[in-house]
Amino acid sequence: MTRTPLTFAEVFGLPLAVDLRTAARALGICTATAYRLIRVGSFPCPVVRVGNHYRIPTAFLLNTLGIDRVPVYIEDLETGARYAAREMEETR
């Protein structure tokens, strides 16, 4: 079964670790393929087995996806918002 990949916003809203289905969705692969990759030791990021379940640390998943976790500072957001507002005013 093919699922829709996670959006950028959904990826940044993930908890510290995710289940295998969510990780597979983020990677754009089906769950069966994810299980097969784990079985042969080729899953693209570290996997933690908890009882009968697999958990994937989100930091490693983001790294695998090429997404760096960079701190966001409120001052930068405010500066960016002011800049965007100025740009919009100039285009009117």
pLDDT, tens digit, 9 for 90 and up, residues 50-63: 999 999 999 999 99
pLDDT exceeds cutoff 60 at 2: no
Q: Is residue 34 part of a domain?
A: yes
Give Cα separations from 53 to 4, 25, 60, 76 (angstroms): 22, 16, 18, 40
The span from the CA of 65 to the CA of 74, in Å, is: 25
Q: Is residue 12 part of a domain?
A: yes
Q: Is residue 1 part of a domain?
A: no
Could you tell me the residue range of the domain that residue 80 belongs to? 8-91
Residue type at 15? P
Q: pTM of whole model > 0.75?
A: no
Write the pLDDT tens digit of every residue in 43-89.
Answer: 999 999 999 999 999 999 999 998 876 667 788 888 888 888 888 88
Per-residue model confidence (pLDDT) at position 35: 97
Domain with 66 in it: what CATH number? Answer: 1.10.10
Q: Is residue 3 part of a domain?
A: no
Total domains present in the chain: 1
